[in-house]
């Protein structure tokens, strides 16, 4: 992939400048450089057919790459491949000062006579002998190595999105398509130091990924050819030349980072990592190709071992192999393919080095655990005295009171269409906002990852918009509640890898507090035997090998919520033990720390009951909940019928029917020109319209008068009725009119109706039951307590 040595692909010679060889071996390759000393006493041999180093271009290169830097420049020369000659590498360290270009030109001239290429690490270090990534102190450029594909198109893409580069260097190599390989440089306004060096390296890697460049430049210590030196490779001798120089163009690191972030991949470029090098055998060939020492093969032992180790490291890092399996694979390759094989100590040292480098580049690994969560080295056990004497504070609940504790598992079950998802989303959004919900309280806004496999994206966003949630709750939970659209996957090992990465991507700065899986059925993995949810062994495998392992990898203290369906039980079974309704194996109930069951006590009523079972805290009473104005609220259980609920509901409905019938009759009778006192109405309509006896009707009238649905008129003279001496008077309902009369409008000829309203003069006091004067007959007022608010909307059908 590159003309210069790389971390994993070059021969063992590269390790000397990286500081990875033993101290004695490294010292043999260090040249104590004197710019006035000639490295060869023989007369110089001039190659009339080749190029010589160009001091002017070397000076230009050194100014762009090191002009602002302080410290020592690691320089390396080695014999390019394909010349038929051998030679060991030479490493020197030049002071980054005004004399550096002249010293570099002298060193390049000597290297040219030896047939050696010249490289530098484009950064400075503090002391001679240092060249590791962690030892780089300053870097003042960003570079990308274009060595494959359509070089011209890639350069055009870079310039279109990142602007003109400070310098373009043709490295000397030529692609199979005949295009010249090149290095594209952007100089920074000031050298990067400290954490900014890691940012520069990430930029180099991101640019390479988006245009198909050399990905090895993610490493700070990756060396690169010096412009103005000579390229010797495969019997080709040519100058590494600067083909474009804009020395005054410098970029601010932050602005340049934004430009790189906004740059799209070049056409035909995939951002999926590509680990195989076109100049190397494919990985499948590497793993089965024997390699002998002494450079007898094109593929050296170091290159083969590095590639194989890198392959197994990636498999372990991505969770496709356990650490033990990865180490076995590395040892197997060493024994079978390296002739002779490496010592185990060297193999282990190289594996650890590459592992640290891989983790540094790609972040924390996802380790697959083949036998569940790792157990402690020693089993903890405590005496009674130790437990009693421990006065340390209890861990803070994730959801109080003890509903979800650190590392706990909560199972929410319910029948289909009972409202589980609606209740769950409302609950989770409140927790993400840090707001109590139905008596469940978070200590702060929680970070929640909602892994759901039922609702597709567009319908998920529609449901979230339809759920009535307070605006302040939605605003507080915008960034702390993260949900997936419907997933088509199992929570097996590969699925666990994807979920873990998604969670870490969603919350990169702080660990997640709650992972919610909705529902178990759609993501269930029963293990190698493929058991279902009703199989205890399969359920335990899913809980221990999938759910617990995923939680322990992400954060052992985070809580897990599993959503599950319930099976059909009769009402007596649900009443006796509601948690028997959970579908599947009984192992689930014995495993969770908290259980919640949502069900309808009465299928004809809207109320739901939430049963609660806790392992880590005192028992909580069931909650009676319902949706009012689109929001879930808790209903006072004192208002709930405890016995003969179905009979009571029927009686309530019958009383409501009689109320409506009585109000309609009074309204219609007034239209017909008839008014009634309480006794006269009861006697007149006994056994009519299902109202029952006159005593039943009188009781209903008394109740309706107390609730404000019926009021009274003492003096009926206006309507041709005498003034009554009874306690109350004629019955009156809201909107009542007396015998409308028709007349013709003399101007328009329209037939109009005029009706005299029947307005009350007295009402029955709700508290004392005495007859009291109405203050304003035109305004119908209901009592402030009781059913007044609800009854205010009742209007006789005839009026409507």
Task: Tell which wins on pLDDT, 26 or 515.
Answer: 515
Q: What is the pairing mode between strands 608-614 and 481-483?
A: unpaired
Could you read off the pLDDT of 356-369 as tens digits, one per residue?
Answer: 888 777 766 655 54
Asked whether the beta carbons of 778 and 735 are under 8 A apart, the reply is no
| Of residues 620, 596, 623, the one with CA closest to residue 609 | 623
Give the confidence band of 7 by pLDDT, cuts at 50, 70, 90: very low
The contacts of residue 404 (CB under 8 Å, 6+ apart) are 397, 398, 410, 514, 559, 561, 593, 594
Q: What percentage of the chain reaches a pLDDT higher than 90?
A: 32
Question: How many whole angstroms separate alpha carbon 92 and alpha carbon 571?
Answer: 86
Could you read off the pLDDT of 494-509 as tens digits, one per residue?
Answer: 788 888 889 988 998 8
Give the confidence band of 545 by pLDDT, cuts at 50, 70, 90: confident
In this prediction, residue 39 carries a pLDDT of: 47
Asked whether the beta carbons of 250 and 166 are under 8 A apart, the reply is yes
Could you read off the pLDDT of 381-438 as tens digits, one per residue?
Answer: 889 988 899 899 998 999 999 999 999 999 998 888 888 888 999 999 999 999 999 9
In this prediction, residue 328 carries a pLDDT of: 84
In this prediction, residue 191 carries a pLDDT of: 92
In this prediction, residue 591 carries a pLDDT of: 87
Question: How many whole angstroms separate alpha carbon 48 and alpha carbon 43?
Answer: 15
Could you read off the pLDDT of 224-268 as tens digits, one per residue?
Answer: 999 999 887 766 788 899 999 998 999 999 889 888 888 888 887
Could you read off the pLDDT of 111-150 as tens digits, one per residue?
Answer: 888 888 899 999 999 999 888 888 999 999 999 999 888 9
Helix (H) / strand (E) containing 170: strand 167-174
What is the residue-wise DSSP string for 402-440? Answer: TTB-TT-EEEEEE-TTSSHHHHHHHHHHHHHHT--BTTB
Asked whether the beta carbons of 601 and 645 are under 8 A apart, the reply is yes
In this prediction, residue 46 carries a pLDDT of: 39
Could you read off the pLDDT of 460-503 as tens digits, one per residue?
Answer: 989 888 888 889 999 999 999 999 998 888 888 778 888 888 99
Highest mean pLDDT among 201-210, 349-358, 364-373, 554-563: 554-563
Helix axes 420-433, 457-466, angle to 10 degrees: 70
- Residue holding tokens 């590791």? 132
SS3 for 351-382 is HHHHHHHHHHHHCCCCCCCECECCCCCCCCCC
Task: Tell which wins on pLDDT, 22 or 102.
Answer: 102
The CA–CA distances, whole Å, from 143 to 65, 67, 261 equal 10, 16, 16
Q: Is the dihedral of CA 61, 62, 66, 72 positive or negative?
A: positive
In this prediction, residue 380 carries a pLDDT of: 79
In this prediction, residue 410 carries a pLDDT of: 93
Q: What is the pTM of this model?
A: 0.44
Give the confidence band of 16 by pLDDT, cuts at 50, 70, 90: very low
Q: What is the pairing mode between strands 224-225 and 116-120?
A: antiparallel
Give the confidence band of 534 by pLDDT, cuts at 50, 70, 90: confident
| Of residues 216, 225, 182, 215, the one with CA closest to residue 78 | 225
Record the tokens describing residue 537, joined without a space. 């062994």
For residue 340, cis peptide bond before it (omega within 30 degrees of 0): yes
Task: Kindly state the DSSP code that residue 119 receives in the 8-state scheme.
Answer: E
Give the confidence band of 539 by pLDDT, cuts at 50, 70, 90: confident
47 pLDDT above the threshold of 80: no
């Amino acid at each position: 992939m590159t003309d210069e040595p790389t971390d994993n692909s070059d021969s063992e010679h590269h390790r000397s400048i990286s500081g990875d060889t033993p101290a004695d071996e490294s010292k043999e390759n260090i040249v104590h450089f004197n710019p006035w000393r000639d490295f060869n006493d023989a007369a110089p041999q001039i190659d009339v057919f080749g190029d010589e180093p160009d001091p002017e271009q070397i000076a230009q290169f050194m100014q762009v790459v090191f002009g602002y830097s302080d410290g020592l420049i690691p320089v390396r020369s080695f014999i390019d491949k394909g010349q038929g000659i051998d030679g060991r590498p030479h490493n020197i360290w030049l002071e980054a000062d005004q004399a550096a270009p002249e010293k570099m030109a002298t060193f390049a001239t000597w290297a040219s006579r030896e047939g050696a290429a010249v490289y530098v690490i484009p950064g400075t270090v503090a002391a001679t002998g240092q060249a590791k990534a962690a030892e780089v102190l300053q870097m003042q450029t960003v570079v990308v190595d274009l060595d494959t594909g359509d070089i011209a198109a890639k350069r055009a893409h870079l310039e279109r999105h990142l602007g003109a580069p400070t310098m373009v260097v043709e490295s000397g190599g030529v692609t199979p398509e005949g295009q010249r390989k090149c290095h594209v440089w952007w100089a920074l306004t000031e050298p990067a130091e400290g954490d900014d060096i890691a940012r520069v390296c990430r930029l180099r890697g991101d640019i390479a990924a988006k245009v198909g460049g050399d990905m090895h430049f993610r490493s700070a210590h990756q060396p690169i050819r010096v412009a103005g030196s000579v390229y010797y490779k495969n019997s080709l001798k040519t100058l590494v030349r600067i083909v474009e120089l804009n020395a005054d163009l410098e970029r601010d690191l932050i602005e340049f980072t934004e430009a790189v972030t906004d740059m799209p991949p070049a056409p035909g470029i995939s951002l999926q990592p590509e680990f195989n090098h076109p100049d190397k055998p494919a990985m499948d060939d590497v793993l089965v190709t024997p390699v002998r020492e002494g450079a007898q093969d094109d593929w050296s032992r170091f290159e083969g071992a590095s590639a194989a180790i890198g392959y197994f490291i990636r498999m372990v890092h991505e969770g496709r192999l356990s650490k033990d399996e990865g180490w076995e694979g590395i040892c197997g390759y060493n024994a079978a393919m390296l002739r002779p094989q490496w010592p185990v100590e060297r193999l282990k040292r190289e594996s650890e080095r590459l592992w640290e480098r891989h983790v540094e580049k790609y972040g924390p690994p996802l380790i697959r655990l083949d036998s569940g969560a790792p157990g402690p080295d020693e089993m903890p056990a405590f005496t009674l005295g130790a437990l009693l004497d421990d006065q340390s504070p209890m861990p803070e609940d994730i959801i109080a009171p003890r509903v979800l504790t650190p590392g706990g598992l909560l199972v929410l079950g319910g029948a289909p269409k009972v409202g589980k998802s609606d209740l769950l989303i409302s609950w989770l959004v409140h927790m993400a906002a840090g707001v109590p919900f139905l008596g469940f309280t978070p200590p702060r806004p929680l970070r929640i990852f909602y892994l759901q496999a039922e609702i597709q994206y567009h319908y998920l966003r529609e449901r979230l918009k339809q759920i009535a949630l307070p605006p302040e709750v939605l605003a507080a939970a915008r960034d702390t509640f993260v949900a997936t659209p419907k997933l088509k996957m199992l929570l097996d090992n590969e699925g666990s890898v994807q979920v873990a990465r998604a969670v870490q991507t969603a919350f990169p700065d702080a660990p997640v507090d709650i992972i919610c899986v909705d529902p178990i059925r759609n993501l269930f993995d029963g293990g190698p035997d493929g058991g279902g949810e009703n199989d205890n062994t399969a359920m335990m495998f899913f809980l221990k090998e999938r759910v617990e392992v995923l939680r322990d990898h992400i954060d052992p203290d985070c809580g897990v919520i599993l959503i599950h369906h319930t099976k059909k039980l009769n009402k007596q079974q649900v009443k006796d033990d509601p948690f028997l309704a959970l579908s599947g194996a009984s192992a689930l109930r014995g495993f969770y720390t908290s259980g919640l069951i949502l069900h309808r006590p009465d299928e004809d009523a809207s109320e739901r009951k939430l049963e609660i079972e806790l392992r880590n805290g005192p028992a909580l009473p069931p909650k009676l909940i319902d949706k009012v104005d689109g929001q879930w609220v808790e209903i006072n259980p004192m208002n709930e019928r405890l016995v003969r609920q179905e009979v009571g509901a029927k009686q309530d409905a019958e009383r409501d029917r009689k109320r409506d019938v009585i109000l309609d009759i009074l309204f219609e009778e007034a239209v017909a020109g008839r008014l009634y006192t309480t006794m006269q109405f009861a006697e007149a309509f006994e056994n009519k319209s299902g109202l029952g006896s006159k005593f039943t009707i009188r009781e209903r009238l008394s109740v309706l008068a107390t609730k404000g649905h019926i009021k009274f008129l003492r003096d009926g003279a206006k309507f041709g009725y005498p003034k009554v001496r009874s306690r109350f008077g004629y019955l009156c309902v809201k909107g009542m009119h007396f015998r409308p009369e028709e007349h013709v409008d003399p101007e328009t000829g329209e037939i109009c109706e005029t009706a005299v309203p029947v307005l009350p003069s007295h009402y029955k006091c709700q508290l004392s039951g005495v007859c009291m004067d109405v203050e304003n007959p035109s305004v119908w007022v209901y009592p402030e307590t009781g059913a007044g608010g609800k009854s205010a909307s009742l209007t006789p059908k005839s009026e409507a």
